A = this chain, B = another copy of it.
Amino acid sequence: MSRIAPIYPADRVTLREVGLRDGLQLVKTWPGTGDKAEWLRREHAAGVRHFEVGSFLPAATFPQFCDIEEVIAALAGLEGGHSAALALNERGAAAAFASQVNEIVCVVSATDAHSQANMRRSRAEAVALVRRIVEMRDAAGSGKIINVGLAMALGCSISGAVDPQDVIRLAGECLEAGADIVGIADTIGCAGPRQVGHLAAGMERLFGERPFIVHLHDTRGMGIANAAAALDSGARVLDASLGGLGGCPFAPGATGNVVFEDLVYLCETKGFPTGIDLDGLRRAREIAETSMRGEAFHGALARAGPPGNMPWQARL
């Protein structure tokens, strides 16, 4: 817990930019290393500090992440920048430990059906992998944070509805396995705010003062409403991506992650200061858009801007 307190303070909202990881998983074109570094610089200049920058995966299969070491290094050069990257197996974890990355993200599916289909392992095996990665970390005397994302935690592309008690129990097993922080993901973007609020409240009861992450997709347009419900239920760490980058393989044409810019507006108007400047996000979006011309960028703030004649930002 002391490991994450400086990175994810419990008393304020932290927004994690996942566009460079989740947003690049399904795209046909992606930014070159220089553009990724400039994207990070601009979004960092806007006040963002937490970034998922890629996955430790074979470069032959996932060329969009082949420059992950350089992207991590670029972020390491920015004051307070915190990098996270996915490691989906021990090979990926070994690469992550050999890198400068600050946080290793493991994925555990909330359903056995999805876990088997996607990872060819049961949920119990996935939790056991988390435990081994924690052991690798501790054996190496590393300070890296181990983050476990619970995929399909609000509905599964294979099994359908997911029992929240199952998710909470799985989150507890991940904590017990040594995870520093755990996230609940609405991977297919099917949840509404009542369900999100209910699951987040269960997480809050389990985690107490310890923060947890809520990762939402806007597939059915509920992203911002779900984020509001999560905040109301005690969530203080939320994932999003600039322009809502990131498709969903199960819903062609659907938007991806919650739109970062709009999430900033939500947080500020709800009284949670983010320290993030919307004009700065607009400059970051420019580099993302120009380096990925084939992709759709979403979001209302980027179009309309904040209102000019009234206060909307929370007091720091």
Contacts and interface: CB of A to CB of B under 8 A. Distances in A.
Interface of A: 155-161, 188-195, 218-222, 224-225, 227-229, 248, 251, 253-255, 259, 262, 265-266, 268-271, 299-301, 303-307, 309-312
Contacts of A269: 191-195, 222
A140 B265 CA distance: 49
The CB with the most chain B CB atoms within 10 A, among A159, A254, A259, is that of: A254
A222 B266 contact: yes
A281 B120 CA distance: 40
A273 to B, nearest CB: 13
Task: Count identical subunits in the complex.
Answer: 2
A303 B254 contact: yes
A19 B70 CA distance: 50
Nearest to A162: B310
A252 to B, nearest CB: 8
A86 to B, nearest CB: 25
A51 to B, nearest CB: 22
Given A194-B270, A224-B224, A251-B305, A219 B310 contact: no
Given A304-B253, A310-B160, A266 B218 contact: no
8 contacts: A190-B307, A194-B270, A220-B265, A220-B304, A224-B224, A224-B225, A251-B304, A253-B304
A251 B306 CA distance: 10
A222 B312 CA distance: 13
